[in-house]
A and B are shown apart, each in its own frame.
Chain A
Amino acid sequence: MDFSSFSSAEQQAMQRVIENKQRLDFMRLYAGLVERCFDSCCNDFTSKALSTKEDTCVSNCTLKFLKHSERVGARFSEENAKMMGQQSK
C-alpha cells in the first residue's frame, strides 16, 4: 500500500498500527501452528513425552506450514497485482 500521501504524523501512526498488527499476527500464527501440528502429530497418549516420531512430525509440520505460507504469499501478491492492474484499466 502507498502511504506517501500521509503526513509524517500520520505515517508514524500507521507505522504503529502495522507494528501492533505484526505482533498480534505473530502470536496468532504461533498459536495456530501449535494447534495444527499438535492435532496432526499427537494422537497417542500412552506416554507424556514426545516420541521421536512425533518430534520429527511436529518439526516437519512447522517447517512445511511456513513454506506453504510463503508460497501462498508469493501467489497472493501476483494475483493481487493482476487484479489491481485490471481495476486501473
Chain B
Amino acid sequence: MSMFGLGGGGAQSAPQPSSAQIEAATAELDMITDVFNRIVSSCHNKCISTRYHEAELNKGESVCVDRCVAKFFTVNAKVGEQMQKMGGAAAGGGGGGGGFF
C-alpha cells in the first residue's frame, strides 16, 4: 500500500480550514488509494502463490502482476465508458463516469 505515501479511506479528520479545494483533493486521494489497494489485493490473490517457499517474487509472478495491473486499468476504463454510455447524467447519480482519476 502507501502509493504516493498516502493512506486510504476512513473518516475525514480535518477540522482545520476545510475549503472546497481541500475536500476535492482529499476525495481524489481517497479514490486513488482505494483503487490502488484494490489492485494490490486482487492481483495478490490472483498471482501470488500462497506456499511461501521463498520471499522473492518469482518470474512468473512478476509478469503476472505486471499484466494484472495493466488489465485492471483497462477494465476500469471500459466499465467507466459503459456506465457513461448507459447512465449519462440521469442514472449516473454519484457513480456515473466513475473510475476516472
Contacts and interface: CB of A to CB of B under 8 A. Distances in A.
Interface of A: 1, 3, 5-6, 9-10, 12-14, 16-18, 20-26, 28-29, 32, 36, 40-41, 56-57, 59-61, 63-65, 67-69, 71-73, 75-77, 79-80, 83-84, 87
Contact of A61 (B36, B41, B47, B52): B52
Interface in B1-57: 1-10, 12-14, 16-19, 21-22, 25-26, 28-29, 32-33, 36, 39-41, 43-44, 47-48, 50, 52-57
B26 A17 contact: yes
B36 to A, nearest CB: 6
Top 7 closest pairs, chain A to chain B, by CB: A25-B7, A21-B7, A63-B55, A75-B69, A60-B52, A40-B50, A60-B55
B1 A69 contact: yes
A65 to B, nearest CB: 7
Interface of B: 1-10, 12-14, 16-19, 21-22, 25-26, 28-29, 32-33, 36, 39-41, 43-44, 47-48, 50, 52-57, 61-62, 65-66, 69-70, 73, 77, 100-101
Chain A's interface: helix, strand, loop or mixed, by majority? helix
Contacts, number: 138
Nearest to B41: A32
B29 to A, nearest CB: 7
